[in-house]
Structure 1
């Protein structure tokens, strides 16, 4: 018996528009015009007899029927893509990765040549931000984020739980210092949490009598300030490895503490795509030492 299917072009147009809740972004993804997406979606609505989108003052939003239809269609398209990739001689496609800026710049980017050499037909699109992108709406495929108490779901994969140690330029700390003396130096403070108070407590030092500026920088700027010899920074060895090996930073103390961990999180169904799976597996392989040495 022949299947009674709507136009596959219409289904693709709806699925892309539904993921983005935007006809314009769907048009960009599929390489067609905005009017083509609108025409396909309206034709699909007539075909199945249901309204899939409602118009907003700026853009569109899925109706309840549209959300249910999208939930059924997206996994089907994922399975078609996965089945097709099985027969491809070389994996191809693109993966959009959103990582925390410091981790992206200092740990991920220096290792990407290895990924490109292994998978030259996969286009890796790297973005950096501290806000968690909406992976549920496919703004990005995967995100690498630092969580204080683990990711919000069981789907997050541990990348690194490296402890925080004090690091500084050799010009600022040419010789080892005791924790008490180290705390007398300019301390580069985290914008969102006072990690120095926790480190002082671990060391058994009283930080309340140490005069320090209330000014706090974002992580990338704090790191640059540490490289410039302007203060001591509490951060992890995963992001300082390159600069320590090059002699631009030194670890100032063997006393550290754990405050959280980096995890890889992905949108639902993303890992059914071959390129995303290959990036995940490559990332876990590259970061294996971060987990084995940081417990």
Structure 2
């Protein structure tokens, strides 16, 4: 078995994670020169440079990133196996989620998670783009990715978008369309969905990586083309579109986890018309080799139970 000098591996992991020789030395309670010696020993054994050093800047090489990704899981497994033998149950877990999901759906429910599993020590890693599925990033993910070697994926929910506006804007809409009840508005929007184009519409780039594409698809599902003369307010992210609607800027398309129809704390009203069924399917992702870990099983169980509010 051609193993590297095993003492060098925790040092390499610490330097890569902290991006610093000095911080790794402090964490490991050794000198900085000892850290440098361990890294050199490992590089000599591998025959590859693991870090690029440019003044104070430290960066993993391509080989270093690949090696780190491969050994991090193994080091974690060794640590967990040791704790199991010693009778210690690991309760720490890192969950990587999209920013809007974290802010609007997950964080308001964390008190319920804490009550159900008081010993679960959960760290939330918020991402603004698709997170890298790796132990270096987190232990569990909410992601739209559905395939990676060594990972299990559990369907979480399929995204829907529907038009919302705030209370005052809703009253203006009723007045402008000369309707006097939700039922009349529902009939009007079903018969003539293009009347929404008479009002400012809020669009976000992040959903389809193109402004107005969200509304184009919504109109298409109503059998209509996107009108040419719409007054659009453009925002890079769905979170900003949601907040713009809450502040009377117009009508936005938001998704299930950003809107609670039974308890709309943000003052938004869901317009009585059909939703757009988006293509994105969300999954709970985790390493297959870790599927039986108690903390991970607890989190997955809780997320599946909470899913009932999204479907």
**Cα RMSD for the two superposed structures:** 3.8
- Find 1:160's aligned residue among 132, 157, 167: 157
- Shift in Å, 1:188: 0.7
Going from structure 1 to structure 2, the CA distance change for 1:68 and 1:268 (only over 3 Å counts) comes to farther
Going from structure 1 to structure 2, the CA distance change for 1:196 and 1:117 (only over 3 Å counts) comes to same
Distance in structure 2 (CA, Å) of the matches to 1:161 and 1:51: 44
Write out aligned runs for 1:99-248 (5 A): 99-136=97-134, 138-145=136-143, 147=144, 151=146, 153=148, 155=151, 156-174=153-171, 175-176=181-182, 177=185, 178=189, 179-191=193-205, 192-193=209-210, 194-213=213-232, 215-241=234-260, 244-246=263-265, 248=267
- Shift in Å, 1:239: 1.6
1:161 alignment partner, SS class: strand
- Shift in Å, 1:250: 1.7
Distance in structure 2 (CA, Å) of the matches to 1:270 and 1:286: 22
**Alpha carbons 1:186, 1:231 under 8 Å: kept:** yes
Distance in structure 2 (CA, Å) of the matches to 1:241 and 1:4: 56
Which structure features the higher share of strand residues?
A: 2
Write out aligned runs for 1:12-31 (5 A): 12-17=10-15, 23=21, 26=24, 30=28
Measured against aligned partners, the alpha-carbon deviations of 1:184-225 in whole angstroms (never above 9, x if no partner) come to: 221111123321111111112343244323633421111111
Distance in structure 2 (CA, Å) of the matches to 1:280 and 1:31: 36
- Shift in Å, 1:101: 1.9
- Shift in Å, 1:106: 0.8
**Alpha carbons 1:164, 1:234 under 8 Å: kept:** yes
Count of residue pairs the alignment pairs up: 283
Measured against aligned partners, the alpha-carbon deviations of 1:220-274 in whole angstroms (never above 9, x if no partner) come to: 1111111122211112222201784447122103411211222334478665765
Going from structure 1 to structure 2, the CA distance change for 1:49 and 1:202 (only over 3 Å counts) comes to closer
Distance in structure 1 (CA, Å) of the matches to 2:129 and 2:26: 24
Going from structure 1 to structure 2, the CA distance change for 1:254 and 1:90 (only over 3 Å counts) comes to farther
Distance in structure 1 (CA, Å) of the matches to 2:91 and 2:146: 29
Going from structure 1 to structure 2, the CA distance change for 1:73 and 1:196 (only over 3 Å counts) comes to closer
- Find 1:81's aligned residue among 74, 79, 82: 79
**Alpha carbons 2:80, 2:90 under 8 Å: kept:** no
**Alpha carbons 1:163, 1:236 under 8 Å: kept:** yes
TM-score, L = length of structure 2 = 0.72
**Alpha carbons 2:197, 2:227 under 8 Å: kept:** no
**Alpha carbons 1:17, 1:25 under 8 Å: kept:** yes
TM-score, L = length of structure 1 = 0.75
**Alpha carbons 1:16, 1:26 under 8 Å: kept:** yes
Distance in structure 2 (CA, Å) of the matches to 1:241 and 1:226: 15
2:159 alignment partner, SS class: coil
Going from structure 1 to structure 2, the CA distance change for 1:62 and 1:242 (only over 3 Å counts) comes to same
**Alpha carbons 1:168, 1:229 under 8 Å: kept:** yes
- Find 2:302's aligned residue among 265, 269, 282: 282
**Structure 2 unpaired stretches of 5+:** 172-180
- Deviates further, 85-94 or 253-262: 85-94
**Structure 1 unpaired stretches of 5+:** none
The answer to whether 1:41 aligns with 2:18 is: no
